[in-house]
Chain A
Amino acid sequence: MPYLRITLLRSAIGLPKPTLGVLKALGLRKRLATVYHPVSPSVAGQVFRVKELVDVQEVEERLTREEMREWRRPESGFWVEKRVGGDRGGEGKILGQSVR
């Protein structure tokens, strides 16, 4: 089922109330917030109302907040080569490294 991924790129401060209402209806509270809505004529109309503020993309599946947060998480940029106390607990996983 296709979704519209809508990201608020411009701030809504100082805009008239109808526009603020549309953003509230879409669920866009802050700048750079992202919401997913299923594609429908009503959602398309809402996007038209705020099209200058918003970036829209059509995608197949929606991501949850936790998933979006994981994608945003940066790489650590390092891994621990040698530990002073040897391997801790015999675990084979390298700590301090963001594994995706």
Chain B
Amino acid sequence: MLSRNVKRALLDSRWPLPPTFLLPWAATLTTVSHATEASNIPPPLVNASQHVSPERLERRHDQTSSNTSPAAAPTLQPANTSTPPALSESVRTLLPVLAAQGPHYITAHLYDRPYLLTAGDTVRLPFHMKNVEPGDVLRLNRASVLGSREYTLKAAAATPALKSPSMSSSLVLDDTTGSLESHSMVMPEPGVSSSGSRIMPPHFVPHIAAGKVSYLDERLFVCRAVVMGVESEPLRVKEKTKRRQRKIKKVKSKHRYTILRVKELRGPVCAAAQAMHTGLAHKDYGISSPPSHWSYAVRVSLSQIFAMPGPSYAPKNFVMSTS
């Protein structure tokens, strides 16, 4: 009863935001897709115990403005071995086109910092990576954007929430309580992803939620980088002293930075993406199987990566056609 009175007391006085014209202009920009609200999620996914991670394909041409309206957000369940994700119509049609249009670029995130990379890039990280030696191969598995010259695959943005959700009975889009509207910040279960899954913190953390980026599914790309070595800056000496004080203290700084070289960037692995929903083709979703004119190389990689049961793909002439 005490908590109920406290709740009522705290909720009565709302903390109002400033009016819209006083907010920063960028605050109103959002790539949040309203297709993932509770009413739009199909019933089988609403009852899913896992988190739903929506993904969206945004086509970027020279004519369109930067604020293109988002396409319908496909609902993507994070994979465990039993429920592969479902892709929407737009992603399925455009993903092969994106895959065919090489070379690709990726915005990989190391410790949540973005790096725009393509195959052959040399990256000087702003920190010294411990426990690695020159020659070690790293697999980068966090990316927010994967694109080619004309097409970009982005993960749907997180709901920008600077305040914790109110204690009302309605469902609130919150990215930390694990509700069914959770966005793609929630990583797939450990059974599939090679890295440990990130469990969301139990409580809402406003300053972390404000800057959060949502990531693509790991299986959509392959990005490998080699550790080239360690670089260090020139020796810096900072002199610390006060006025009318003759003693000068000198502090040396010589930071070290790890150099990586991106040796491979493959993506999107659309054969794998097709394989994800092939398993659902014969179930409730009625999605058609991958087209037969897909190239041999693509279909072989499908079976190698996922070891999917099904018809073996006989080698055919190497033909890559766009849908």
B257: shortest Cβ distance to chain A, in Å? 16
Closest residue of A by beta carbon distance from B7: A58
Indicate whether A84 reaches chain B with its CB closer than 8 angstroms. Answer: yes
Residue of B3, B15, B140, B202 touching A63 (CB-CB under 8 A): B202
A72→B13 CA distance, assembly (Å): 30
- Check A84–B136 contact: CB distance below 8 A: yes
A63→B176 CA distance, assembly (Å): 15
- Check A80–B137 contact: CB distance below 8 A: yes
- Residues of chain A lying within 8 A (CB to CB) of residue B6: 4, 39, 41, 44, 58
Segment 13-69 of A: residues with Cβ below 8 Å from B: 32, 34, 39-41, 44, 47-48, 51-52, 55-59, 61, 63
A-B contact count (CB 8 A): 123
- Check B7–A80 contact: CB distance below 8 A: no
- Check A57–B135 contact: CB distance below 8 A: no
Q: Using a Cβ–Cβ cut-off of 8 Å, how many residues does chain A contribute to the interface with B?
A: 43
- Check B141–A77 contact: CB distance below 8 A: yes
- Residues of chain B lying within 8 A (CB to CB) of residue A58: 3, 6-7, 10, 167
- Residues of chain A lying within 8 A (CB to CB) of residue B129: 96
- Check A79–B136 contact: CB distance below 8 A: no
Indicate whether B102 reaches chain A with its CB closer than 8 angstroms. Answer: no
A76: shortest Cβ distance to chain B, in Å? 6
Q: List 12 A-B contacts (CB under 8 A).
A: A39-B2, A39-B3, A51-B13, A52-B15, A71-B208, A78-B142, A83-B135, A84-B136, A96-B130, A96-B132, A97-B195, A100-B197
